[in-house]
Structure 1
Amino acid sequence: MPRFALLCPGQGGQEAHMFAIANSNPRVAALLDQFDTSQYFGMPLTALLASPSLMFENRFAQPLIVAATLANWLALREELPPPDVIAGYSVGEVSAHAISGELDVGQAIHLASIRATAMQSCVKPQAAHAMLSVSGLPLAPLQEICFSHHLYIAIVTGETNAIIAGLRDDILKAEQALREHAIAQLHLSLLPVHIASHTPLMADALPTMKQVLDKLPFQAITTPVLAGVNAMKSVNSAESKQSLLAQMTQTIRWHECMDALDEAGMNVVLELGPGSALSRMLQSRHPHIACRSVADFRSSSAVAEWVNRQMLRE
């Protein structure tokens, strides 16, 4: 029996047409037309999507991504097989716990908004944060660079690929130090994310998130969700809440999540978007898994056709 998984992205893939697939489904398009976004964004969704700078501003980015991911899921879920497991990258883990049946769409977007505000409050005046993608350097020497520059490994995506985070001044010094090493195949890229997610610098956000999670009435989980910090399956609300808290200050081990999908025998994997970074990473690491993103297609029906065709081949 072929096995099917879903991927829910984090920040980075925002763009003006990120709701296009959802809008290609008339039922979901009607829901989006009626959706009051002012409670989350303080403005109409169309106004937010018209501003590239606002889309990448943390307080908008996190709930916006969750909203787009879940809109795509609503457009597709009746045409797709039920997923065997879901994995969410960073704030995508909030989306995953909605798809798992634990939260409704409004609760998930609200939680993402609270999460964004709590994390943003950890950025102090005159102490900007930054995140730097580093590829081509093994984790051990990268950890040494982080230690000497008061930085942290925030996300690991491979044995020589990671994202480091911390104060912006320290990130820029570390970037310069890495470039001076003149390491072959080294690639560095500052990310359009301005909080040191998944590091101890987010510790002050934990009490707020815990309070909100404790009050949220999580429903029974219908589909396991991989915890980003250890790639273990969350199968009840206590585990889900613990995972959502832990990933705020602890390293996301995305390479282990990808390996867990392979170990669980996933044959077909769909990234719900926005963006396609997760599907590209999984395809590179486990090329035998059929994996694409919703962002690769022009309509929800085309996405469903591809998934169902792949499931029949397995």
Structure 2
Amino acid sequence: MRGPARRHDLPRCRREQTVTGVAILCSGQGAQAAGMFDLISDAPEAAPVFAAARRVLDGRDPRDLVRQASPAELHANRAAQILCCTQALAYWAVLGPASPRPVTAAGYSAGELAAWGIAGVIDAETVLDLMARRAILMDEASPTASGLGAVLGLPRTEIEAICRTHDLHIAIVNGPLHVLLGGAVADLEPALAEAQQRGAGRVVMLPVSVASHTPLLHDASERFGELLRQRITGTRLPPGLRLISGVDGAPVWRLEDGLRKLALQIRQTVDWAACMDSCRAARPQRVLDLGPGDALARMAGEAMPDIAVRSVTAFQSLNGIRHWLNA
């Protein structure tokens, strides 16, 4: 006689009808802008995050920095990583306490460290300090004049052939026809030109000055892994929180495994498409991109057309975001 049905024995249609909670997406660098903190600038809940960011920005308040800095300063690796992380943590400090549960947290590139903060594993001050140290390690290990380029519209086999020809690496997989390549700028430029000749729908050199998520940053990955082992001990994932690993989209069940992957993603391809699959499998009622920008919301909307997806940049007020999250 067969025993009681387990969850994975239930009919597929019944499982997929159960939607609950939210998925929170934390962006990496690239979309920093003067108005990125406007909506949360005066929110008292966000003040501790801005204070912590100021300490790792050499005493500069991030709200002043984004309004006063030149584009080059905004996109310098260290400032860029800290600023995008600050935005995610500041928004969550305001929105998190009243957000529906459970929460699925996923972070894109540098945003993955912010996702660990949102999941409640690492406090905001430690996240920002680690982010600053991560950026320094990456700068120290990075070859001069390196970066990332995006290619849309070519299959993986053609991308791999271009990488072999130009000594590049696949840094991020956003989808079957959307990848980021990493390496020396002198190699990226002819590679993007070749991709266009092969029929790519779009190629873009990104405003990033390091070849993130490639073997070129092996040393930074090793050193950051050691730093994580020293700083993050004796913690666990709080109940009602689901944290997604960037390198493979797998949920983090064991802290040690998650931290190892968090360090590995500095030198290993980030599979954002798999992260989106994992978010969709969690069946959230809402998906919110904490920015900066709305790139993650656009990609999530394509990956999850049956789920409501928005970016904080689409709202006029914090109350508007709160009402949407709890609708």
* TM-score between the two structures when normalised by the length of structure 1: 0.91
Aligned twin of 1:23: 41
- 1:221 pairs with 228, 237, 245, which one? 237
Aligned twin of 1:146: 163
Aligned twin of 2:150: 133
Consecutive unaligned residues in structure 2, runs of 5 or more: 1-17
Give the secondary-structure state (helix, strand or coil) at the position aligned to 1:274.
coil
Q: 1:34 to 1:8 in 2, by over 3 A?
A: closer
Aligned twin of 1:293: 311
Q: 1:237 to 1:19 in 2, by over 3 A?
A: same
Instruction: Provide the aligned length of Structure 1 versus Structure 2.
Output: 304
Aligned twin of 1:123: 142
For residues 320 and 81 of structure 2, what CA distance do their matches in structure 1 show? 27
Q: 1:226 to 1:122 in 2, by over 3 A?
A: same
Q: Is the 8 A contact 1:228 1:252 kept in 2?
A: yes
Q: Is the 8 A contact 2:167 2:187 kept in 1?
A: yes
Q: CA offsets, 1:270-308, max 9 Å, x none?
A: 111211110110102221111101111122211010111
Give the secondary-structure state (helix, strand or coil) at the position aligned to 1:17.
coil
For residues 70 and 149 of structure 1, what CA distance do their matches in structure 2 show? 38
1:1-314, aligned counterparts within 5 Å? 1-3=18-20, 4-23=22-41, 25=43, 27-28=44-45, 30-31=47-48, 34-35=51-52, 37-49=54-66, 50-51=68-69, 52-124=71-143, 127-181=144-198, 183=199, 186-218=201-233, 219-222=235-238, 223-309=241-327
For residues 226 and 12 of structure 1, what CA distance do their matches in structure 2 show? 21
State the shift of 1:206 in Å.
Answer: 2.2
Segments ≥4 residues shifted beyond 6 Å: none
Q: CA offsets, 1:19-48, max 9 Å, x none?
A: 2232253x2354467556143345332442
Relative contact order higher in (CA < 8 Å, ≥ 6 apart): 1
Amino acid at match of 1:220: R
Consecutive unaligned residues in structure 1, runs of 5 or more: 310-314
Q: Is the 8 A contact 1:97 1:240 kept in 2?
A: no
For residues 17 and 145 of structure 1, what CA distance do their matches in structure 2 show? 37
State the shift of 1:260 in Å.
Answer: 1.6
Cα RMSD for the two superposed structures: 1.8
Give the secondary-structure state (helix, strand or coil) at the position aligned to 1:153.
strand
**Same amino acid, percent of matched pairs:** 33
Give the secondary-structure state (helix, strand or coil) at the position aligned to 2:293.
coil
For residues 108 and 16 of structure 1, what CA distance do their matches in structure 2 show? 23
Q: CA offsets, 1:98-153, max 9 Å, x none?
A: 111111101000111111010111223xx310211100101111111001110001
Amino acid at match of 1:235: W
